[in-house]
Amino acid sequence: MIKKYEWFARRKYTGWGFTPATWQGWVYVIVAILPFVALMSFAPINQARMILIAIWAIIVGVDFIDIVIHLPKDERDRLHEAIAERNALWVIIVVLAVGVGYQAASGATLGIFKVDPVILVAIFAGLIAKIISNIYLDKKD
């Protein structure tokens, strides 16, 4: 699709990604989402329609990632984003750890050990990503 990066701004307060900054950006987002709505409105959903939805999702997803990557950022934006990402990650880790503790404690009252493996995988995947990042950054310096 045809887009200009100045149509969008980095999403600072409401999550990750970008938000339209101009009316052209809003039109772009609506035009990107409209085919999903049109394809999902028809019943019943068959295999051909699902393939069209998947192809459109890939095209829009790649395009949205391209927008996020090319949004202009100065050094201050990069530093603020890094601090915000770090703080968000710490909150996520604490919530996941409390969830594991709660699941283990509630299972222990029943005499079983049951913890959601997805939570454990998320915690250990984050740990591995941190280790790899630190090794890479140490070798880079």
Q: How far apart are CA 100 and CA 56, in angstroms?
A: 38
pLDDT digits (tens, 9 = 90+) for 40-60: 887 677 888 888 888 988 988
For residue 58, the model assigns a pLDDT of 92
* Helix (H), strand (E) at residue 130: helix 117-140
User: What band does 73 get if pLDDT is binned at 50, 70 and 90?
Assistant: confident
Is the pTM higher than 0.85? The answer reads: no
Q: How high does pLDDT run on average in the chain?
A: 83
Q: How far apart are CA 119 and CA 7, in angstroms?
A: 37
